[in-house]
Chains A and B, each alone.
Chain A
Amino acid sequence: MVETYLRLVGARLRGQFAYRTSFTIEVVAQAVVQAIELAAITILFSHVEALGGFDVHEVVLVYAIAATAFGLADLTAGQLNELPTYIRTGSFDVLLLRPLGTLPQVMVGDIRLKRIGRTLFGLGAMVYALAHNEIAWSPAKAALVVVAPVAGAVIFGSVWVVACAVCFWMVEGQEIANTVTYGSNAFTSYPVTVYSGWLRRFMAFVVPGAFVAYYPALALLDRADPLGGPAVLGWVSPLVALAAAVVAGLVWRFAVRHYRGTGS
């Protein structure tokens, strides 16, 4: 079973090195996308001391964890954006016939390694942010540095699955889905204290965006939550990720059960 997936992924990856120039351009472009957000943060901080109560290095830490997590999610779940095409052309029906899960098939079916650019830039920003913040290191925090982006990626991936499942009902649902996925990326790049009202409640807790980077960053920095949340929130993102993945799995199963195909 696992072997089957590994072979699928392997075949996909080999194919992508065939066009080396286009591959390189894509990797650079993806890194530039991520770099532009960092540039925006830098430009804003050339005029202010703090955003939402956080200084520049702290915001960069939040941004870096979010960027790495989103990069990883984009690498593995990003091809869910192709779902409307699969449905429209009938390729999805083929996936249903195979003795493998539909969701993993869509996810590994077209892994695009060129998307690694975002992740690489995020990792670079993380190294910078960890070096420029005063962090009282402990084994638990070292583990958190590794676990937070992975848990964040699972949260983003779950958001991706739920948002794209909309496409089973809505023909033009992709742009709505993009709003949620790329919107969460934009949201998580800044401390949630920047936002307010229902926008914060929705993006931080309904879509559990606050657990991607904000709370783990607070734990790394040993800062109390300005919003009054308990310190334990910084350490629970793996659990939130697990819950999000379960919800996403259920939504996907429900959506596929109601899938009728486009007919021909």
Chain B
Amino acid sequence: MRAYAHLALAGFRRYSTYRQAMFAGLAANVVFGLLRTAVLVATVAAAPVAGYDVAAAVTYVWLGQGLLSFVVLWGETQLSERIRTGDVVVDLSRPWHLQAALLAEDLGRGAYSVVVRFVPPVVIGALLFPFRWPGPATWPLFAVSAVLGLVISFGLRFMLNCTTFWLLDSRGVVNMYAVVSGLLCGLIVPLAFMPEWARDVLWATPFPYLLQAPIDVFLERGPQWTVLAWQAFWAVAVLAAGNLVLSRAVRKVVVQGG
């Protein structure tokens, strides 16, 4: 257990060394936040749409801008690279569970990301535009929901990376995920704006639970405990699936060496 705590700390430290990159990324978050706010506010200015008035739309945009780098909505290929080069063998022979170790590191990364990528966009959005703050009881629920979103996201990214064991190059899969995840998670447009059939299909997948679910909890839309229960279900489901995929893959790995 202590090893995992150290890994989480290492994850925190590792990203805190790339300070300039973090600020550059923050600038991108803010500019896109401004552009997205303008479009969405133009949509709901005349009359609320699907329960979103101007304040709710603004909160949705800036919370989304903050959460997207906390949960990591794009693909990442670190594990995939290690599988491709064969370095993963070293990781597999260490005295830890590979998936748990990477999750611990990702949680550490998330903790750092809260400070530099989540809080600033939310504060900027709240200062510049009308904002909807939740009641005090909602804050801890939102925190749990955001962390569950990160865990589900990690679980999906882990499985995407594991496809490298079979595909040898998962860049195509990861790129495609990066391309569509924004729409499926509710980053581009609130899921409540979508036609009913699309909403039904999407809420039956883990994607909305990465981003739209924490935002819904924050905006106090719908029953919060139900959302959290579904998030917990998906977190367990994707981690278990990833574990299964990994154990299958490990049987396949041929260690060459001399």
The number of residues on chain B lying at the interface, defined by a beta carbon within 8 Å of a beta carbon of chain A, is 34
4 other contacts beyond A39-B183, A175-B28, A183-B28, with CB at 8 A cut-off? A36-B180, A44-B193, A172-B21, A172-B24
* B188 cross-chain contacts in A, Cβ below 8 A: 36-37, 39-40
A171 to B176, CA, bound (A): 28
B42 interfacial by beta-carbon distance below 8 Å: yes
Contact bitstring B21-36, A, C-beta under 8 A = 1, else 0: 1001101100110111
In the complex, which residues 152-211 of chain A have their Cβ closer than 8 Å to any Cβ of chain B?
A: 170-176, 178-179, 183, 186-187, 190, 194-196, 199
Q: Interface residues, chain A, CB within 8 Å of chain B?
A: 21-22, 25-26, 29, 32-33, 36-37, 39-40, 43-44, 46-48, 51-52, 170-176, 178-179, 183, 186-187, 190, 194-196, 199
Contact bitstring B159-189, A, C-beta under 8 A = 1, else 0: 0000000000101100110011011000011
* A32 cross-chain contacts in B, Cβ below 8 A: 176, 179-180
B38 interfacial by beta-carbon distance below 8 Å: yes
How many residue pairs at the A-B interface have CB separations less than 8 Å? Answer: 92
A37 to B32, CA, bound (A): 14
Nearest B residue to A36, CB-CB: B183
| Beta-carbon contact of B176 and A29 below 8 Å | yes
Name 11 interchain pairs, CB-CB below 8 A, sorted by A: A26-B172, A29-B179, A36-B188, A39-B189, A43-B193, A44-B189, A47-B193, A172-B21, A175-B28, A176-B27, A190-B39
* B175 cross-chain contacts in A, Cβ below 8 A: 25-26, 29
Pick the residue among A48, A175, A179, A199 that contacts B21 (CB under 8 A): A175
* B189 cross-chain contacts in A, Cβ below 8 A: 39-40, 43-44
B30 to chain A, nearest CB (A): 9
* A46 cross-chain contacts in B, Cβ below 8 A: 193, 195
Q: Interface residues, chain B, CB within 8 Å of chain A?
A: 18, 20-21, 24-25, 27-28, 31-32, 34-36, 38-40, 42-43, 46, 49-50, 169, 171-172, 175-176, 179-180, 182-183, 188-189, 193-195
Instruction: Give chain B's interface secondary structure class.
Output: helix
Known A-B contacts A32-B179, A175-B28; A183 and B193 likewise in contact (beta carbons under 8 Å)? no
Instruction: Give chain A's interface secondary structure class.
Output: helix
A5 to B244, CA, bound (A): 51
Known A-B contacts A40-B188, A43-B193, A179-B27; A22 and B38 likewise in contact (beta carbons under 8 Å)? no
Nearest A residue to B42, CB-CB: A194
A171 to chain B, nearest CB (A): 7
| Beta-carbon contact of B20 and A183 below 8 Å | no
* A44 cross-chain contacts in B, Cβ below 8 A: 39-40, 43, 189, 193
Pick the residue among A22, A43, A183 that contacts B172 (CB under 8 A): A22
Known A-B contacts A26-B175, A36-B179, A172-B24; A47 and B49 likewise in contact (beta carbons under 8 Å)? yes
